[in-house]
Amino acid sequence: MNEPQHNAVTELRIEEDSAGQRIDNFLVKSLKGVPKSRIYRILRTGEVRVNRGRIKPDYRLQQGDTVRIPPIRVAEEAPPVRPGERIQRIIEESILYEDKGFLIINKPSGLAVHGGSGVSFGVIEGFRAMRPESHFLELAHRLDRDTSGVLVLCKKRSALRAFQEQLRENKTDKKYLALVRGKWKGGTRRVNAPLRKNVLSSGERVVRVADDGKESLSIFEPVSVFGTLASLVRVSLITGRTHQVRVHSSHIGHPIAGDEKYGDEAFNRQMAEMGLKRLFLHAEELTFALPESGKPITIRAPLEESLAQLLNKLEHLG
């Protein structure tokens, strides 16, 4: 599919990667810089045609469709920010798995998954800049900026649809490692506490346990207990809410080490004195079914060296 020429009538043929998209979403992506109000107006007035016929904004494109786009004036866009060579090298070296549909990495802590909110670029912008020949490259899900571990990008729309369908139907298996405050008592623990997003008067976004929140279920399993100071736990996410592991950990009295938003200041200071410079939350493992074969695949991301060293120090505290 060629890029539309905004100053002339353009006809685009829909390939496999764009099939299944709503026409309004397709136009928003294709006509970068054009206000959404203008896009909906040209849809409403019939200036956009699919196979020479008028369509509604919720029409889903099919492979082989021909989309007619009228001439549209577009404000000049600033060139995208390109990450430096060091960041590009880090991103490239983080690849864990790649095939024709998926690109899966061990995302470093401190690197956002996408630009915005004061961040000029993230993982997705980095890969798009490094692979300009890629016609389709999208994030399949999110990780917090400070969380490291398995992150899935999709190279085909069909792969993205299939993966996100598995996420919605809870058919993926996501496991995290977290270092939490205090001595873990007992074995496996299910935390079923609904979560709701809130915006504080300062504009900061926080997530809290609330009766009217969205259903959220995490399963905590102890891995190692380091005296009364800290415990390493493995967390399986049954749902995938924003900040779920962090808020559930704090809710049960075991906040995560290095968590400045939901954590414990004294515990964070102790861990910082032992060398921790980040949130100790790592997306360790992800299992899902490959769309074409239906076979399950498990991707594991090793802990970064600084986290492994901290665990070694805790082990030897006695």
CA–CA dist 150, 297 (Å, integer): 13
Token pair in block for residue 207: 């997530």
Element (H, E) at 224: strand 217-226
Residue type, 190: R
Expressed in angstroms, the distance from the first to the final Cα of the chain is 63
Token pair in block for residue 304: 């970064």
What residues contact 287, with CB distance under 8 A and at least 6 apart? 172, 173, 296, 297, 298, 299
Among the listed residues 65, 144, 259, 264, the single catalytic one is: 144
Determine phi and psi for 231, rounding to 5 degrees.
-140, 145
Does 211 participate in catalysis according to the annotation? no
CA–CA dist 102, 89 (Å, integer): 19
Q: Let me know: does 176 contact 238? Beta carbons within 8 Å.
A: no
**What does each C-alpha distance from 311 to 11, 12, 62, 126 come to in angstroms?**
58, 55, 52, 31
Q: Are strands 189-192 and 217-226 parallel, antiparallel or unpaired?
A: antiparallel
**What does each C-alpha distance from 277 to 110, 262, 273 come to in angstroms?**
10, 16, 9
* Residue 109 burial (CB count, 10 A): 21
Q: Which residues pair with 97 in a beta bridge?
A: 104
Nearest one of 82, 147, 142, 144 to 108, comparing CA atoms? 147
Q: Give catalytic residues, as residue numbers.
A: 144
